[in-house]
Amino acid sequence: MGVLRAATINSPTTYYEGQAGATGYQYELVKGFADALGVELEIDVHSSTSGTLGAVRRGRAHVSVGAVVITPKRQRRYQFTHPVIDVVPQLVYRRGSRRPRNAGDIEGKLLVPAGSESAEYLQTLKKTWPNLQWEETEEFDVEALLVKVAEGEIDFTVGASDVIAINKRYYPKLRVAFDLSRPQNVAWAFRLQEDRSLFNRAQHYLSSVSESDINRLRDRYFGHVKHVNYFGAMKLAQHVETRLPKYRRLFEKAAAKYELDWLLLAAIGYQESHWDSAAVSPTGVRGIMMLTRQTAKFLDVQNRRDPAQSIMGGARYIRRLIDLIDADVPEPDRTWLALSAYNLGYGHLRDVRKLTEIRGGDSRRWIDVQENLPLLTQPRWHKKTRYGYARGHEAKTYVGNVRTYYDMLVYLLDDGTRSGSVLEAEAIPSEAELRPEGPLNIRSPVL
């Protein structure tokens, strides 16, 4: 079997090693390409995007999937595929400091990775703002520089909007000052050479991936990054220190019993009550997992305010909801659908899945179902359902919040000892398979 070697960087938008193995938006796409070609995928990790391009240029890798933005300078040296995502370059500063309104308003230390597209954007801006100054570093990548801005070690940096949005969840003091340009295309980069067979196969493969599958992947990695504001993120970090230690073992025990990820269970508990065992809603639901009286009775929970009973009951309930959903629904969609049912009831979930099918969507996919949830508030739609009106907007927000809290808890607490979560393991869709048009022999590049 041949080998496809892909050069990339460690990033939440490209490639990283999760508890269940390799994952990432770009990784899933290129893994699907390798599978379609019938070859093994080798990942060649570099510290910068320019490093991945250098590996391609020197023949050490077949393709760069390292979040490469297409620029005029790069187009003279590489072949670029169809765009796989669009990003906006943005100037980032620290909350509480003065926000610059344009490039001429920047006062302080601006640091960007050497040889990056950020440096190219700044070179272009300097033609309009000749006093613009910045420094370039080979020591730190964009994410490391974002941390330095958040901690006040430097004043500014420049990064892509997708990376910034994800990191703002973990470093809520990060703020975007302004966009440096219009949206830019990110694509795979190949070496300029006469033999374009592999490049052509990549083009054909990317064209073969359906729009719905691309949207599903984007939703998985980027669809929930805008949930939870600055104050919500700060409060979660505080409660991880002050409240969670009292209940962590209860979450772990309940999750183990019902074969759940304890961090997911903790995220549900945080969304429900902020880990407050005395919490009571205006509608009478109570406790850490905010169980209704009816649900508590069904789950044999005698005291909803008892943390151990509430958490065990909540774990049993979400496990039951996951198991009720059709076996052909893949993860993580299965869990997202179950979470919406935890919020609005399983009957309403069945209703909205039927509405999704009526409107031509895929009821197995959360990205399709969530778009139809608001219809449950509209008489012309909910009167067609068995269970009628429901606050679908609330359920959509609920799932987004839990997903965000889960990601933040993984970042803050995962010590590498928990078992892999199904929420971190999903392969590129099988619909994207590519039939080879002719003989193609891929071997490892000469090192």
DSSP 3-state assignment of 6?
strand
Phi/psi of residue 110, each to 5°? -110, 120
Q: What is the largest CA-CA distance in the chain?
A: 73
Q: 201 and 37 in contact (C-beta within 8 Å)? A: yes
Cis peptide bond upstream of 183, omega within 30: no
> Which residue's entry shows tokens 């219009």?
182
As a whole number of angstroms, the distance between CA 142 and CA 339 comes to 34
Catalytic residue among 107, 272, 431, 433: 272
Helix (H), strand (E) at residue 249: helix 244-257
272 a catalytic residue: yes
Question: 3-state class of 326 per DSSP?
Answer: coil
Identify the helix (H) or strand (E) that includes residue 66.
Answer: strand 63-69
Q: Rounded to an integer, what distance in angstroms lies between the CA atom of residue 429 and that of residue 209?
A: 8
Whether the CB-CB separation of 184 and 87 falls below 8 Å is answered with yes
Write out the two tokens for 254: 């309940």
Question: Backbone phi, then psi, for 18, in 5-degree steps?
Answer: -90, 180
Look up residue 131 and give its two tokens: 């006093």
Lookup: tokens for 72: 């005029």
Collapse the DSSP code of 175 into the 3-class scheme (helix H, G, I; strand E, B; otherwise coil) and give the result: strand
Active site (catalytic) residues: 272
